[in-house]
Structure 1
Amino acid sequence: MASEITYAEVKFPNASPAAAAEVPPKTKKQEHHPQKYPPWLPWLISLLLLLVCIALIIAFLVVPLSPSDEEPTALQQKFTEWQCDSAVPQGKGRGWTCCPKGWKRFQKSCYYLSDDRMRWAESEQNCTGMGSHLVVINTEAEQAFLTKELLDALGRNYYIGLRARQVGQWQWVDQTPFNATAAFWRKGEPSNVVAEPCVAIHTSSEIDNWNDSRCESHYRICEAAAVTV
């Protein structure tokens, strides 16, 4: 006799109602939380900004009052003692115009009146060796200044930086174009002869005091740009 098979429906209380296959749960998106900074960081940033502002103030106000970082001129390399005058009103900042001790200053130039005599070529070499050149006269004011200074000088004739490469063709040592209308020749000068290619100032109260001459031994006037600090 065959046994009777009985079917019964059994329900489990925690079972999923339909799950033929278990589906893996979706991965949760990672939540982004704002990063927390230490409370002292804003103070540090403020301090750095303050330091930058101070550095900029120093750069614009203090640095211009300091001596220039440019390479020293030939004149500065030759001399250690200087005479300086303020080139700007007091309290207006930097601006001292300096010449070597014993030199004369007029406007932006320094002048050396020698106490010994040399030929013209040697005179130019001597000036060059001091970081200068034989004087080049550009204005009537400059000529008047030198004329006045020479009244108390030792010699009668002082070489300037003017010479004729050919008769009547005058040339300044610094290649400044010669302006015949701004020359200060004595009456009857220049002679314009081959034997007198060099030019000297003859000590005189008259502003027109240049004369061409032989390139023999005379005193000299050297000129260099004044130094500003």
Structure 2
Amino acid sequence: MKEYYIILMLLVATDRCTCQDCECPLQQCPDGWTTFRGSCYYVSDNVSVDWTEAVHHCELHHGRLVTIETKEEDSFIRSHLERLYRQSNQHVGEEFWLGANDQMVEGVWTWYTNDQPLEYTGWYPGQPGSEGDEDCAVIASRPEAGGSQKFNGWHDAQCAAQHHPVCEISHDDSLPIVGRK
């Protein structure tokens, strides 16, 4: 009888993460996502899309395009990307979309989720540049000796360019179970 109650308690405790219409607490990131300080992150390296499609891609995964709000979070994202592509020729020199843009007012970079100006930035020296139509932010990789890559900072890029999304589910968001990937 004691085992029955323990199993029942476990089922009740996990039910909110297995039922059809519930939401999971953020302590449990979806498969393939990585956690850091209460948020979950997903690098979509198999998808190369323009910035608007990157936003939609993250929404399909029940997240949003990453908003990097602290130096620690920026360091984590860069380190995570470097670990993912340490011994790989994949994505050498490629860029990964961030959730910042200056589409509303040239030179005023905001997060697309709330139109608030960026308080923290991780721009590469000389960035954002002043070349033409570069209104969306990316984090860029550059090859290093030995074949590894260094994600050295943010750059502005044309929003129509094809890059890989980095998605985030923050502690303010909830994780719907249905359709999680």
TM-score, reference length from structure 2? 0.69
- The structure whose RCO (Cα within 8 Å, separation 6+) is larger is 2
Runs of 4+ in 1 over 4 A off after TM superposition: 67-71, 204-208
The aligned residue for residue 218 of structure 1 is: 163
Q: How far did 1:72 drift?
A: 3.0
Say which of 167, 190, 197 aligns to 2:106.
Answer: 167
Matches within 5 A, 1:176-215: 177-180=116-119, 182-203=120-141, 209-215=153-159
Question: Contact 1:112–1:223 at 8 Å: present in 2 too?
Answer: yes
- Residue number in structure 2 paired with 1:72: 22
Distance 1:149 1:99, change over 3 A: same
User: 1:119 & 1:69 partners in 2: Cα distance?
Assistant: 35
* Cα distance in 1 for residues equivalent to 2:167 and 2:26: 21
Structure 2: segments with no counterpart, 5+ residues: 1-8, 143-148, 176-181
Q: Secondary structure at the match of 1:203?
A: strand
Contact 2:26 2:38 in 1 (8 A): no
**Matched residues in 2 for 1:202 and 1:157: separation?**
4
Aligned partner of 2:113: which letter?
A: D
Distance 1:136 1:97 in 2: 19
**Deviation by residue 1:71-97 (Cα, 9 ceiling, x = unmatched):** 634xx6xxxxxxxxxxxxxxxxxx982
Q: Aligned partners of 2:81 and 2:68: how far apart in 1?
A: 14
Structure 1 residue runs without a partner (length 5+): 1-61, 77-94
Which residue identity does 1:160 align to in structure 2?
L
Distance 1:158 1:111 in 2: 13
| Larger of the two Rg values belongs to structure | 1
C-alpha separation in 2, matches of 1:220 and 1:200? 9
Matched residue pairs, number? 145
Note if contact 1:147-1:203 (Cα within 8 Å) is conserved in structure 2.
no
CA RMSD of aligned residues (A): 2.9
